[in-house]
Structure 1
Amino acid sequence: MRVKLLIAYDGTNFHGFARQNNLRTVQGELEACLSRVTAAPVLIHGSGRTDAGVHAREQVVHWDQEHGPPVEKYPYVLRRILPPDLIAIHAEEATDQFHSRFSAVGKTYRYTFQTAPVADIFTHRFTCHSPGRLDLQKMREAACHLVGTHDFTSFCAASTLVEDKIRTIFDISVKESGSYVSLYVTGNGFLQNMVRIIAGTLLMVGQGKFTEQQVIKSIQACDRRTAGWTAPPSGLALWQVYYEESNLWLAVKQGFE
């Protein structure tokens, strides 16, 4: 049986999603708990790897098993033994053809800045504090140039080993709610630090430290040194994973709140 599980986590105290020896990771914690529940080793596959300190509102994982509780009971069973910063939301049986990563047609990440003079103690773990008003119109105009299929070398960690850096961004929405400004970036796949570099670059545009023309030149240059700041991981969350094209475009059409 293949099980599909929806989870969420506060990434602050995790060294990322992927399992690492002697480090606390989402995959490591979840596999350990699932192995207890099924009384057998469990290897999970995620829809993608989030870096250290990055959160997830909706991360999708799957695994194959021979024995275990009824699939629909997994969220309730896991909530009793998972740590408080990792939550099981929903489980269902999947077909043998389903793969949490390779079946996905797109993802949305959210990056949130707080612009108030003083950081809110209740949200600082999930935001990047950047005091001062931002020019949202300039941010939106600059973001338009990032939408589409591009070589995102300039918006990728220089140390990445991935050779093919061509990705497609379907939409970037800039939303404001009180003292919070959130970027919703939807695409078919993302490179290491890609959304954090996009967020840092657009923040600089909103601050008047980077121009729309510089964003255009950065895309064309394929040189990490030409783009803006890499925003810290605290403000980033994997927001939604899509397995149907219709759901992806519906989310983009309706906007994100």
Structure 2
Amino acid sequence: MEEENYALKVFYLGFKYNGFATQKDKPTIEGVLRNIFRNKIYGNRIHITYASRTDKGVHAIGQTVTINVKDINVDEVNTELPEDIAIWAYCKAPKYFDARRCTIYRHYKYIVFKRDLDLEKMKNASKDLLGIHNFKRFCYKIKGPVIRRIYYIKIDKIENGYLTLEFIGSKFARGLIRNLVDLLTRIGSGEIKNLNSVWEYSGPLCMAPPENLYLIDAYYPLKYMISDSGVEKVIKAIHMINEGESDERKILRKHMLKDFWKIMSDLRELSLKLHSTLH
């Protein structure tokens, strides 16, 4: 049997991990996946691609991962994975499909646990970031140009006077979203002012905390199948976000659960449309 290219929708909580990508002697999401696939199920030769290299502490609802194997039993994999990682959808993908190169857009959400920020100032400043720019000045320890396109930034007030910031872009770079959150919140607080454009700002930035950021989706139109065991595991994992039952963790849990149901519904609808189109 020849190997197939499978696309997986992977959920994880990043609290215990040093980011997604494999790092020597440090726990990572990719490291866990490779260990399961290589040593327990599918043998030593494993090729994995992924859509987003999330940082230490950052979570994901719809990370897209590809793996080349002869066959895959998602229910079996989910029983082997720890309680904070789950595969909740999967499909055979085209041979050319590479999650990093082929993903059309990445969609992130950040929850800002600060009050009394000027929403209109933040929204106006965010308009300067839309389109294609060199975002190098807003990234973390990157030497060359960082040419990226941001399609959409949405800033909303939520419960308790807090805010959510959503970013949709072709791709991002290390520290970019968390630095943009810091920039926009400091504009909203009045700490940074008298700018005609955010591109005038050349001062220091302090990346916003990672645990309030999650990847909602890494989108590409594929005909996924939903894994019931994976969905159940995701819901259980999200309900684990209750450390001290603080307002912050309750709100994070609420928003992640709402966004999970939304993306799963959208993915199911897309799969049905693709099925009817192809048949």
What do residues 122-153 of structure 1 show as CA deviations (whole Å, max 9, x unaligned)? Answer: xxxxxxxx3x3211111101101111111112
Partner residue in 1 for 2:220: 243
What do residues 146-174 of structure 1 show as CA deviations (whole Å, max 9, x unaligned)? Answer: 111111122111x224x231111111000
Q: TM-score, normalised by structure 2?
A: 0.73
| SS at structure 1 position matched to 2:154 | strand
Between the two proteins, the alignment pairs up a number of residues equal to 217
What do residues 181-234 of structure 1 show as CA deviations (whole Å, max 9, x unaligned)? Answer: 11111111112100000001111111111135362313xxxxxx5364321111
Contact 1:197–1:227 (CA<8 Å) still a contact in 2? no
Partner residue in 1 for 2:150: 169
Q: In the aligned structure 1, how far is the partner of 2:209 from the partner of 2:200? A: 24
Q: Does 1:15 align with 2:14?
A: no
**More helix per residue:** 2
Q: In the aligned structure 2, how far is the partner of 1:207 from the partner of 1:55? A: 26
Partner residue in 2 for 1:198: 180
Contact 1:2–1:93 (CA<8 Å) still a contact in 2? yes
Q: In the aligned structure 2, how far is the partner of 1:189 from the partner of 1:10? A: 21
Contact 1:204–1:228 (CA<8 Å) still a contact in 2? no
Q: In the aligned structure 2, how far is the partner of 1:229 from the partner of 1:213? A: 21
**Gaps (5+ residues) in structure 2?**
222-262, 264-279
Calculate the aligned-residue CA RMSD, in Å: 1.9
Amino acid at match of 2:192: F
| SS at structure 2 position matched to 1:231 | coil
* 1:171/1:227 CA distance change after superposition, 3 Å: farther
- For 1:124-163, list aligned pairs within 5 A: 130=114, 132-157=115-140, 159-161=141-143, 163=144
Q: In the aligned structure 2, how far is the partner of 1:63 from the partner of 1:80? A: 18
Q: In the aligned structure 1, how far is the partner of 2:31 from the partner of 2:178? A: 24
1:39 shift after superposition: 3.6
* 1:78/1:45 CA distance change after superposition, 3 Å: same
Contact 1:154–1:227 (CA<8 Å) still a contact in 2? no
Amino acid at match of 2:105: G
- For 1:1-257, list aligned pairs within 5 A: 1-35=4-38, 36-66=40-70, 68-69=71-72, 73-74=73-74, 76-114=75-113, 130=114, 132-157=115-140, 159-161=141-143, 163-179=144-160, 180-211=162-193, 212-213=195-196, 215-218=198-201, 225-226=202-203, 228-244=205-221
Percent identity reads 28
**Gaps (5+ residues) in structure 1?**
115-129, 219-224, 245-250, 252-257
Q: TM-score, normalised by structure 1?
A: 0.79
Amino acid at match of 2:42: T
